[in-house]
Structure formats: structure tokens, C-alpha cells
């Protein structure tokens, strides 16, 4: 079984030393976000995730969820339900929910640390509260007062959970194709009919009620994405007074058998004229969904981070312990029959790739999450607008890069174990299987790339990119005379200029041929992720030099050196692919792919 120890030291370094959240939280008015309280919460979160959730990870994978055809009931793996009860009793469910709905009102970006620990400890289990968070966001922003009263409080208290019901058999990425219908009832509610597939936590045995947020079409809705509305459809009917009534006409038809996250129920859901309530404006359901898209996508990025970190921790321990062969430059541990594999450069390549992507990714994602706090809590309209632009720009990068790196790191970590990684005993193959879904759900990597280049850069004139480049240049200027950082500043400034030029080049070509965007998008996304991480690594060295122990300073500096020498050059390949344009991708006729 794989082990997990919460990386509290690096989480604190990221939050308090590099991103420096304390003055930000004070300025935004988070009265409860004091350092001593946050430290205590982190300690407790570590205890809960290490001792309650992590030990259930393997059994969740091996036993999985089961489905009763007769009743439509889903039973979660042994221990999952009890862990949820402990989670709710500990008040974890409402950690970042507003106090007026029974939450603790802590910053979203602070909650990301808890989320990382949960995902690392037990990703499948973590999907149940994750979906409740999405429902909370939708109701918080778009629900009517009675809907918030009736649904939000039980969700925040953890008595009910939430789901997001978008996908249908013929409609995944392209939501404009969706067919689920909503017919008005005399009492102001709607009768929802249709089938949704792949619904995470659509049915389970944790709570007495499950609140589905469902995308559906009203009778007179225009076709495509302009005719989609958002409805709230509880498993057990709920009156306007919040009282729970009879069973609603919503039923789980089956659960999926999957490559990974076996402990997370993935359900086919049938709505048969089920009672639902409109949230927000008619035909504006997608806009309502977009509000919570940023937090949901950041959350899935964090899943990649958590899995990568757990895999890395285990690979590191194994590499220090496993004796195979001698170092090429002579025995490093002559008293032992062989050297531990951590002496071999190629094993170090894998470990340092993980370390640099994980710790850099932590900074990238935690910083992005602080923008959610700014967006929701600042009273300054200009600051709000800027946070919105930067968050919108960073979200697809965090979602796609951290999940793709999650897959890469879990595979590197498995490789460090050799054959022992491939067999079940050490739990490494589970982490690699579990990581695979994260680049698929909540918008595939390809779709994140289109969102970044097509929407955030081309349609919105790259406002977020300009802000991020501004941050890089300001940092480089401020550190210009700092000899400790000189080795990082020059290449970082050069990459920032290259990023700008590359963006202009794609923009020009896209004016003549829109396919240029699709041809460049995924390479552009990775290019952006690697430059963004270079910035955060330079800042990590600066912060460590200023305030950390000599060990941390050395570790950060050497890892940054590895990153700049061995990972950042991946941008060269991505830039070359982008320069090649559409021809290498589109020249071959689709009919000739199998010739
Ligand atoms: C375990 C699991 C849990 C899930 N949980 C939920 C949930 O809770 N709620 C929910 O609503 N859905 C959920 N989903 C569905 C998930 O979000 C979709 O699978 C995902 O959005 C992709 O849709 P699709 O599978 O239909 O693939 P498709 O949309 O058919 O895409 C197939 C491939 O084509 C690519 N592609 C499509 N269009 C384009 C384009 N224009 N340009 C470039 N590439 C393109 C995609 O990137 C992908 O690689 C879940 C799925 C799984 C497997």
C-alpha cells in the first residue's frame, strides 16, 4: 500500500513565504484567517487525511462501489461512509463556505491546501465533497433566496451532497447538443426528463438526499448553447420551506466500471418528469455553470497535484532504500552490497522531474486560487476585473498542466519502483490509474487548450497574459541586482519575451486561418505552463533565500536549477511545433489515416 504524509512544510512555504497570503487575507477581510489558526487547521487536516482517508484508498480501489439493480441504490466501499461522517463532524465540509450558510468562511485558496491533502489521500473519496462544492458555488451565485435557504444549508452542513449533471450519451464536450427537457409545472417548478451519463456521486449511501444540478432545455429554447437552462433537482423532493418530501422521479440506472477511481460512483441518471427548479435566468444555464467552472477546474488541477505528490513521496522513500548496482562514478555506500538507486542520474531525473513539477505546480495553483478570493471579496471594481481576467487565463493552464503532470509524475514514480511499481502491492499502479481521469473530466486537455488560446488569448485580447507577463517583468526588474537570482532572471525574462512573440505569431496566422488556433493550442498551453512554472521557481528561490532554513534554500535552488536546465527547454519543442502551423496536422486526408 502506498503511504501518504501531508507536505505541510511545503504547503506553508507556498502559502506564507512565497505567495504571502496573510496580508492579502487581512486586506480582503477574512477575520478568521489568522496564522495561528491556519496552522492549527493545517495540522488537523493533515491528521484527518493521513489517518482516516489515506488508509481507505486501496480498499476503495479493490472493492469499488456496488449497484443494486432492483432498488437503484449504490453502496460505497467499506469505510467511505464513516469517513464522510467524520469529515462532516469535523466541520471540514463547510471550511470555505460562507458563514451565513453555516460555513466557516475561510479563504478559498486556503481550502485548496485541504483539498490537495484529500486528493492525495483518497481521490475517489474526495470526489463526493468536491461535487457538493460545485453545487454550493452555483446556488451561492445564482440561487433565489428560498433556494439558498432550502438547499445550501444542508449541503454546507454535509447532510446532503451535490452533483453536476451535464453529460449525455451523445453530448460531452459539445453541450449545445444536449436533449434533456424541462416542462413548466403549474406550481412554478419544472418537470425534468432525460438521461445523463457519467455523473459523479449521482447516487451513494452517504446522505439522505442528493441535490442534482441539471442542464436542460425549456420548451421554447433556441437550439445550441443559447438554449440551455440550469435546474436544481433533488433526489428527495424539497418544499420551498426546506422540508424534505417524497422520492423524486430521478433514479440511478447503472454505475460505470472504470480504469481508476473505483471508489467514486459514476452513474447513469434517469430523470422521468422529476420535479426541478430553475436556477438563474432561462436559457442562461451555461453562464451560470461558467461561474463555478473556474473553481471546479482549479479543483481538478489540484487532484493532479495531490496524486503526483503522493506518488513522489513513495518513490523517493523507495529510491533511498532500494539497493541496485553501483554508482557509475564509484560506490557511494561501499559498506552495502549495492548503492541505493537514488544515486543513479536517471532515477534522479525522474524524482527531480516530479519534485520540480509538484512544488512549482503548487505555487501556480495556490496563487490562482487566491484570485478567486480577490474576485469574490474585493470592493474595488478595477481589482475585481483584473482578478477575473488573470484567473480566467490561469485556470485552463492549472487544470490541464497539473493533471497532465499528475499523469507524468505518477508514471515516473511507478517507474522508480521497477516491476514492484507495476504490481498492486505498493499501490503505485493505482495512483497512475486514478490520475488518468483528471485530464478527461471537467473539460479535456484539448478543450482547456482551446479555452486558453481561442477564448482567453484571441477573444479577450490576452488581457490575462499581459498581466502575467507584467508580473514576470516586474519581478525580473526588482531582482535585477540580486546576484543570488541572476542565473534565473535572464532566462526567465527571455522566455517572457518569447511567449509574447509566439502569441503574436499565432494571432497573425489565425487571422488568415482559424485552424491555426486548434493546431497550436495544446503546444501553446504547455509552453505557457512551463514558462509560468519558471516564474514560480524563481520566486521560490527568492523567498527561500530571504526567509528559510539553509536546507530549504539549497533544496529550492538546486531544484530550480534542475527545472531551468531540464524541464524549461521543453518549451523549445512546443515552440517548434507551433511554428510548423497547420500543414503537418491537416495535410493528410482523413480517409488516408489507415493507408
Ligand atoms: C469518471 C468520470 C466522471 C465524470 N463526471 C461527470 C460529472 O459529474 N458530470 C458530468 O456532467 N460529466 C461527467 N463526466 C463526463 C466528462 O466531463 C466528459 O467525459 C468529458 O467532458 C468529455 O466528453 P466526452 O466523453 O463525450 O468526449 P467527446 O466530447 O466526445 O470528446 C472526445 C475527444 O475529442 C476531443 N474533442 C472534442 N471536441 C473537440 C474540439 N472542438 N477540438 C479539439 N478536440 C475536441 C476531446 O478533447 C476528446 O479527446 C465524467 C466522465 C468520467 C469518465
- The b-or-e profile of 17-38 (16+ CB within 10 A means b, else e) is bbbebeebbeebebeebeeeeb
Helix/strand/coil for 280: coil
User: Measured in angstroms, how far is the CA atom of residue 444 from the centroid of ligand 1?
Assistant: 6
**Of 442, 484, 487, 498, which is the active-site residue?**
442
The residues, any chain, with a CB within 8 Å of residue 12's CB and separated by 6 or more, are 39, 42
Asked if pLDDT for residue 366 goes beyond 80, the answer is: yes
User: Measured in angstroms, how far is the CA atom of residue 171 from the centroid of ligand 1?
Assistant: 8
Asked if pLDDT for residue 292 goes beyond 80, the answer is: no
Question: How distant, in Å, are the alpha carbons of 80, 131, 259 from that of 61?
Answer: 11, 20, 10
Mean pLDDT, rounded, of the chain: 96
Cα separation of 161 and 157, whole Å? 9
Asked if pLDDT for residue 291 goes beyond 80, the answer is: no
Confidence of residue 288 (pLDDT cuts 50, 70, 90): confident
Query: Is 442 designated active site?
Result: yes
- The b-or-e profile of 554-591 (16+ CB within 10 A means b, else e) is ebbbebbbbbbeebbeebeebbebbeebbeeeeeeeee
CA angle 413, 419, 422 (to 5 degrees): 65
**Which pTM was predicted?**
0.98
**Ligand 1 site, CB within 6 A:** 164-167, 172-173, 198-200, 258, 266, 437, 440-441, 444, 446-447, 450, 518
Name the maximum alpha-carbon separation found in the chain: 84
Confidence (pLDDT) at 26 = 97
Question: How distant, in Å, are the alpha carbons of 176, 196, 359 from that of 168?
Answer: 11, 5, 37
Asked if pLDDT for residue 471 goes beyond 80, the answer is: yes
Confidence (pLDDT) at 381 = 98
Asked if pLDDT for residue 353 goes beyond 90, the answer is: yes
129, 441, 454, 520: which to mutate for ligand 1, most atoms within 8 A of CB?
441
Mean pLDDT of all residues in 273-302: 91
74, 135, 161, 172: which to mutate for ligand 1, most atoms within 8 A of CB?
172
Selection from 383, 388, 213 nearest residue 295 by Cα:
388
Nearest CA to ligand 1 atom 4: 198
pLDDT, tens digit (0-9, with 9 covering 90-100), for 104-138? 999 999 999 999 999 999 999 999 999 888 888 88
pLDDT, tens digit (0-9, with 9 covering 90-100), for 171-210? 999 999 999 999 999 999 999 999 999 999 999 999 999 9
Confidence of residue 294 (pLDDT cuts 50, 70, 90): confident
pLDDT, tens digit (0-9, with 9 covering 90-100), for 397-420? 999 999 999 999 999 999 999 999
Amino acid at each position: 500500500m502506498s503511504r501518504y504524509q501531508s507536505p505541510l512544510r511545503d504547503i506553508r512555504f507556498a502559502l506564507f513565504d512565497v505567495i504571502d497570503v496573510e496580508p492579502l487575507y487581512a486586506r480582503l477581510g477574512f477575520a478568521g484567517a489568522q496564522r495561528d489558526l491556519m496552522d492549527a487547521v493545517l495540522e488537523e487536516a493533515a491528521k484527518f487525511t493521513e489517518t482516516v482517508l489515506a488508509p481507505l484508498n486501496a480498499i476503495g480501489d479493490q472493492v469499488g462501489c456496488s449497484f443494486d439493480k432492483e432498488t437503484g441504490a449504490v453502496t460505497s466501499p467499506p469505510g467511505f461512509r464513516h469517513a464522510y461522517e467524520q469529515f462532516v463532524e469535523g466541520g471540514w465540509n463547510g471550511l470555505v463556505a460562507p458563514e451565513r450558510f453555516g460555513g466557516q468562511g475561510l479563504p478559498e485558496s486556503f481550502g485548496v491546501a485541504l483539498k490537495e491533502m484529500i486528493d492525495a489521500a483518497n481521490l475517489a473519496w474526495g470526489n463526493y465533497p468536491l461535487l457538493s462544492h460545485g453545487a454550493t458555488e452555483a446556488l451561492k451565485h445564482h440561487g433565489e433566496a428560498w433556494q439558498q435557504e432550502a438547499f445550501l444549508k444542508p449541503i454546507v452542513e454535509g447532510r446532503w451532497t451535490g452533483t453536476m449533471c451535464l453529460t449525455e450519451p451523445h453530448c460531452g464536450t459539445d453541450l449545445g447538443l444536449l436533449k434533456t427537457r424541462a416542462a413548466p409545472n403549474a406550481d412554478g417548478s419544472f418537470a425534468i426528463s432525460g438521461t445523463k451519463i457519467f455523473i459523479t456521486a449521482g447516487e451513494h449511501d452517504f446522505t439522505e438526499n442528493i441535490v442534482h444540478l441539471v442542464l436542460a432545455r425549456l420548451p421554447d429554447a433556441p437550439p445550441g448553447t443559447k438554449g440551455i437552462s440550469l435546474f436544481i433537482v433533488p433526489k428527495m423532493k424539497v418544499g420551498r420551506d426546506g422540508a424534505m418530501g417524497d422520492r423524486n422521479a430521478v433514479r440511478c440506472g447503472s454505475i460505470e466500471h472504470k480504469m481508476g477511481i473505483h471508489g467514486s460512483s459514476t452513474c447513469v441518471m434517469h430523470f422521468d418528469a422529476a420535479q426541478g427548479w430553475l436556477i438563474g435566468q432561462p436559457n442562461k444555464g451555461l453562464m451560470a455553470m461558467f461561474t463555478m467552472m473556474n473553481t471546479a477546474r482549479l479543483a481538478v488541477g489540484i487532484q493532479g497535484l495531490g496524486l503526483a505528490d503522493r506518488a513522489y513521496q513513495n518513490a523517493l522513500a523507495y529510491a533511498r532504500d532500494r539497493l541496485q548496482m553501483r554508482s557509475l562514478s564509484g560506490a557511494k555506500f561501499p559498506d552495502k552490497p549495492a548503492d541505493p538507486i537514488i544515486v543513479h542520474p536517471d532515477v534522479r531525473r525522474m524524482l527531480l522531474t516530479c519534485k520540480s513539477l509538484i512544488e512549482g505546480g503548487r505555487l501556480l495553483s495556490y496563487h490562482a486560487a487566491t484570485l478567486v478570493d480577490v474576485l469574490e471579496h474585493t470592493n474595488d471594481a478595477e481589482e475585481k476585473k483584473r482578478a477575473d481576467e488573470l484567473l480566467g487565463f490561469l485556470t485552463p493552464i492549472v487544470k490541464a498542466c497539473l493533471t497532465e503532470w499528475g499523469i507524468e509524475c505518477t508514471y515516473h514514480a511507478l517507474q522508480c519502483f521497477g516491476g514492484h511499481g507495476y504490481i498492486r502491492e505498493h499501490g503505485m499502479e493505482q495512483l497512475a490509474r486514478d490520475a488518468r481521469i483528471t485530464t478527461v473530466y471537467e473539460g479535456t486537455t484539448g478543450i482547456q487548450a482551446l479555452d486558453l488560446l481561442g477564448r482567453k488569448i484571441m477573444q479577450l485580447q490576452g488581457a490575462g497574459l499581459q498581466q502575467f507577463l507584467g508580473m514576470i517583468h516586474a519581478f525580473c526588474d526588482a531582482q535585477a541586482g540580486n546576484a543570488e537570482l541572476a542565473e534565473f532572471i535572464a532566462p526567465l525574462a527571455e522566455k517572457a519575451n518569447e511567449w509574447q512573440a509566439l502569441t503574436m505569431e499565432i494571432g497573425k496566422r489565425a487571422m488568415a486561418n482559424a485552424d491555426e488556433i486548434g493546431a497550436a493550442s495544446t503546444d501553446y498551453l504547455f509552453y505557457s505552463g512551463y514558462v509560468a512554472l519558471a516564474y514560480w521557481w524563481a520566486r521560490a528561490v527568492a523567498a527561500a533565500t530571504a526567509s528559510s532554513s539553509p536546507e530549504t534554500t539549497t533544496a529550492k535552488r538546486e531544484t530550480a536549477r534542475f527545472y531551468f536546465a531540464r524541464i524549461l527547454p521543453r518549451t523549445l519543442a512546443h515552440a517548434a511545433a507551433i511554428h510548423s502551423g497547420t500543414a503537418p496536422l491537416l495535410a493528410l486526408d482523413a480517409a488516408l489515416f489507415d493507408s
